[in-house]
């Protein structure tokens, strides 16, 4: 329990930072970064171009071998070794231009809907170092919501099946709590259909049919994704709907890990590669395995009424068994699946860039490889178009405009008006 509380404190600190400011080597341009510091501290300077740290300036030591200055002070640009960008705060008209032989490194843990231009290779190629949820990033964050394997097998919140069955007199078998109702995947459309065939307690602002207990405010949950009281609340439910906001390889969030940690069966839809990361072959019910919501509901009902079948989904809790060797190896290598990592992902990213400056980080020239593999949004409702489709399209125009201005023209600066006109040119001529 003490360990788990420490994890939550670290996560809380990270999310508060995010609120204030809101693996595999990347296969992009061939570049070797040779850095000779001229500052009095004699360490490489990493500038967060999009402010993302409390401190104006700090000294970091990584692996007891690499030391760098990390700052948000742009006046130190004269001696910068690398620029750091936080994806969700990236501003297309506020960049360190012209782009010289100084690496750009981006940290973007969110889904593509927050940074649509980065869906496309023209946008990705602006960055020499990437850190995203994708395993194809320079520093992958696939397991950014799971610090260690012990959380999967820990029974702190686990409610035994006998007690869960008794609770069915008071609650539905299925839990749904979501407050982001407009998503590329259009999850509410599917859940509303599922609710026609099986009882679902929906506590968020989306499809709400039940009032969330006062101690579990949505804001509190968003601030602390694994709040202890809320984890106990989730653990009472036999099933939890876990649908991501986008369909991308490796985009696996707390929506999956929270019920797995609490001891509720996830009803999952999102990452096509999710089976690469599940603790065991039968750890979640995958929506895509069923023809429609009616068929899925029938299966959930069969699991709900068959104690032996239900417990087969709880092997990680009942016997502490995790068979997924990839998952075990990644978490054994370091916290959050980051090799040799003892930190939360943001400090790990800073250290990765710092280390890269010392080791003359290089990347290969292979523009056929994309960091992301994401499915374009579809209109699942025949009566209205999914507006995220145009969002994806606009992102492609943004990527083309950025590439043209920064790489082709190598401009020293440009205004938002110039950037917008370039996007309009691509849109009006059908280039995206």
33-42, 194-203, 270-279: lowest mean pLDDT where?
33-42
**83-136 pLDDT tens trace:** 999 999 999 999 999 998 999 999 999 998 889 999 999 999 999 999 999 999
State the residue for tokens 């399209």: 393
Assess whether pLDDT exceeds 50 at residue 296: yes
Q: According to the model, what pLDDT value does residue 339 have?
A: 87
d(CA 148, CA 318): 18
Query: 213 to each of 1, 110, 156, 203, how far by Cα in Å?
Result: 23, 28, 21, 9
Work out the burial of residue 38: count CB atoms within 10 Å of its CB; fewer than 13 is exposed, 13-18 middle, 19 or more buried.
Answer: exposed
d(CA 236, CA 179): 21
Work out the burial of residue 430: count CB atoms within 10 Å of its CB; fewer than 13 is exposed, 13-18 middle, 19 or more buried.
Answer: exposed
Assess whether pLDDT exceeds 50 at residue 367: no
Q: Are 297 and 255 in contact (CB under 8 A)?
A: no
Q: According to the model, what pLDDT value does residue 20 have?
A: 33
Q: Can you read off the two tokens belonging to residue 52?
A: 């993302």
d(CA 306, CA 295): 17
| pTM score above 0.75 | yes
d(CA 55, CA 106): 19
Q: According to the model, what pLDDT value does residue 365 have?
A: 39
Query: What backbone torsions phi and psi does residue 130 show, to the nearest 5 degrees?
Result: -125, 145
d(CA 145, CA 252): 8
- CATH of range 149-330; options 3.90.79.10, 3.30.1510.10, 3.40.50.11660, 1.20.120.1770: 3.40.50.11660
- Paired with 48 in beta bridges are 84
Question: Domain spans of the chain?
Answer: 41-141+342-429, 149-330
Mean pLDDT of all residues in 296-316:
98
Non-local (6+) Cβ contacts of 404 within 8 A are 422
Residue 39's pLDDT band (boundaries 50, 70, 90)? Answer: low
Q: Are 383 and 186 in contact (CB under 8 A)?
A: no
Is residue 201 left, alpha or beta, with left meaning phi > 0 and alpha meaning psi from -120 to 50?
Answer: beta
């Amino acid at each position: 329990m003490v360990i788990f509380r420490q994890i939550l404190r670290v996560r809380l600190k990270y999310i508060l930072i995010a609120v204030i400011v809101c693996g595999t080597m990347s296969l992009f341009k061939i570049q070797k970064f040779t850095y000779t510091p001229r500052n009095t501290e004699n360490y490489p300077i990493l500038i967060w171009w999009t402010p993302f740290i409390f401190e104006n300036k700090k000294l970091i030591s990584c692996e007891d071998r690499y030391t760098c200055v990390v700052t948000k002070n742009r006046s130190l640009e004269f001696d910068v070794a690398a620029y750091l960008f936080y994806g969700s705060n990236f501003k297309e008209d506020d960049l360190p231009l012209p782009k010289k032989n100084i690496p750009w490194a981006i940290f973007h843990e969110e889904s593509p809907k927050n940074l649509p231009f980065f869906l496309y290779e023209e946008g990705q190629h602006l960055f020499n170092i990437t850190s995203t949820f994708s395993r194809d990033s320079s520093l992958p964050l696939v397991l950014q919501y799971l610090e260690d394997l012990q959380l999967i097998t820990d029974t702190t919140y686990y409610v035994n099946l006998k007690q869960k069955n008794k609770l069915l007199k008071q609650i539905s078998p299925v839990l749904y709590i979501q407050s982001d109702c407009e998503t590329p995947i259009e999850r509410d459309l599917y859940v509303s259909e599922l609710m026609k065939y099986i009882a679902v307690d929906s506590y968020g602002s989306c499809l709400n049919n039940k009032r969330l207990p006062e101690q579990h405010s949505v804001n509190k949950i968003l601030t602390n994704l694994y709040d202890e009281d809320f984890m106990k609340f989730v653990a009472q439910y036999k099933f939890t709907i876990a649908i991501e906001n986008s369909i991308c390889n490796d985009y696996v969030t707390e929506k999956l890990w929270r019920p797995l940690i609490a001891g509720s069966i996830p009803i999952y839809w999102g990452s096509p590669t999710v089976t690469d990361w599940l603790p065991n072959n039968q750890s979640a019910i995958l929506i895509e395995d069923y023809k429609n919501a009616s068929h899925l509901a029938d299966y959930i009902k069969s699991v709900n009424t068959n104690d032996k079948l239900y417990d087969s989904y709880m092997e990680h809790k009942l016997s502490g068994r995790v068979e997924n060797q990839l998952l075990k190896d990644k978490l054994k290598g370091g916290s959050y699946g980051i090799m040799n990592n003892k930190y939360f992902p943001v400090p790990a990213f800073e250290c990765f860039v710092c280390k890269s400056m010392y080791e003359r980080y290089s990347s290969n020239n292979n523009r056929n490889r994309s960091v992301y593999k994401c499915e374009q949004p579809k209109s699942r409702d025949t009566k209205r178009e999914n507006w995220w489709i145009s969002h994806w399209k606009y992102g492609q125009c943004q990527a083309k405009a950025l590439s043209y201005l920064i790489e082709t023209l190598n401009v020293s600066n440009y205004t938002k008006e110039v950037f917008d006109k370039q996007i309009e040119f691509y849109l009006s001529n059908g280039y995206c």
